[in-house]
A and B are shown apart, each in its own frame.
Chain A
Amino acid sequence: MIKDFDNIIIKTVCRILTPFLQIFALYVIAHGHYSPGGGFQGGCILGASFILLVIAYDINAVKKRMTEKLNTALCSLGVIIYAGIGLICLILGANYLDYGILHRILPVDPVKARAMGTLGIEIGVGLTVMSVMVSIFLNIATGGKHEEGEAE
């Protein structure tokens, strides 16, 4: 269903736009403490940048940069980061997801450690949202085949 087509304007604009989109997505994730944003929103923008590549080029352009194995691994890694930070808090002797205790392993005071823990789980959420967006789009757009097909 996703076919390569030749349109130099679309391809060039998307190629130039993608890095800026991804930088903006990282900004939205990292700046979630101070402005509207966070893991869910930033992950969506990050996933949209890959979907833009699929639409402008073809599926092989994305499969080269983000293989299916890596994508599925990142999907799990996000949840593991989130649950792992909670588990580290548990091991250090506080409640689950009580980030204040992280000051023992981070060189900051307990209040700043809470902000650091928040940032860590936002990164985990962002990774999961990004790879789930890409995975769902590729699976639905190609009918689960993950290869170029004829337009139906």
Chain B
Amino acid sequence: MKLFALIAVIITGAALIYSTFQMPDWGDAGSPANAHVSPRYIEKSIEETATPNIVTAVLADYRGYDTLGETTVIFTAGIVCIMLLRSIKND
């Protein structure tokens, strides 16, 4: 059984390492991440959102729904911290 597990781990690891050889180079202008939406953000963000800081434009405007989730995560963390730690004595 241990031998089987070892073989499975080696095969999976080899497949994962093999797949990294096909990843685009660092900073490759033709990679999907740089060719899909990034040029649109860089070229159009000022005329579409009037926000010179592209990071803010992407964070709060194009990906606003994502940031809403982030804020909710922080809110939940705070509420859970209150629920777990806060001890209120009714004297």
- When the two chains form the complex, which single residue of B56, B75, B85 contacts A118, counting CB atoms closer than 8 Å? B56
How distant is the Cα of A129 from the Cα of B72 in the complex, in angstroms? 10
* B67: A residues at CB distance < 8 A: 82, 121, 125
Contact B52 A34 (CB under 8 A): yes
* B36: A residues at CB distance < 8 A: none
Q: List 26 A-B contacts (CB under 8 A).
A: A34-B52, A34-B53, A38-B56, A38-B60, A39-B71, A72-B82, A75-B75, A75-B79, A78-B71, A82-B67, A111-B48, A111-B50, A114-B51, A115-B51, A118-B61, A121-B68, A125-B67, A128-B74, A128-B75, A129-B71, A132-B77, A132-B81, A139-B82, A143-B87, A144-B87, A145-B87
Contact B68 A129 (CB under 8 A): no
**Distance of B5 from chain A, by nearest CB (Å):** 41
- When the two chains form the complex, which single residue of B50, B55, B68, B82 contacts A115, counting CB atoms closer than 8 Å? B50
Contact A139 B56 (CB under 8 A): no
- List B residues 39-91 near A (Cβ within 8 Å): 47-53, 55-57, 59-61, 64-65, 67-68, 70-72, 74-75, 77-79, 81-82, 85-87
**Does chain B have a CB within 8 A of A14?**
no
* A129: B residues at CB distance < 8 A: 71, 74
- When the two chains form the complex, which single residue of B47, B61, B65, B71 contacts A125, counting CB atoms closer than 8 Å? B71
- Besides A111-B49, A118-B49, 8 new A-B residue pairs in contact (Cβ under 8 A), listed by A number: A39-B71, A111-B48, A115-B50, A118-B61, A121-B64, A125-B70, A140-B81, A143-B87
For chain B, the count of residues having a C-beta within 8 Å of the partner chain is: 30
Contact B81 A118 (CB under 8 A): no
* B87: A residues at CB distance < 8 A: 143-145
Q: What sequence of 0s and 1s flags, for each residue 35-47 of chain A, a beta carbon within 8 Å of any chain B beta carbon? A: 1101110000000
Most chain A CB within a 10 A radius of its CB, from B59, B61, B70, B71 = B71
How distant is the Cα of A128 from the Cα of B69 in the complex, in angstroms? 13
Q: What sequence of 0s and 1s flags, for each residue 81-112 of chain A, a beta carbon within 8 Å of any chain B beta carbon? A: 01100100000000011010000000000011
* B82: A residues at CB distance < 8 A: 72, 135, 139
**Does chain B have a CB within 8 A of A136?**
yes
How distant is the Cα of A118 from the Cα of B74 in the complex, in angstroms? 19
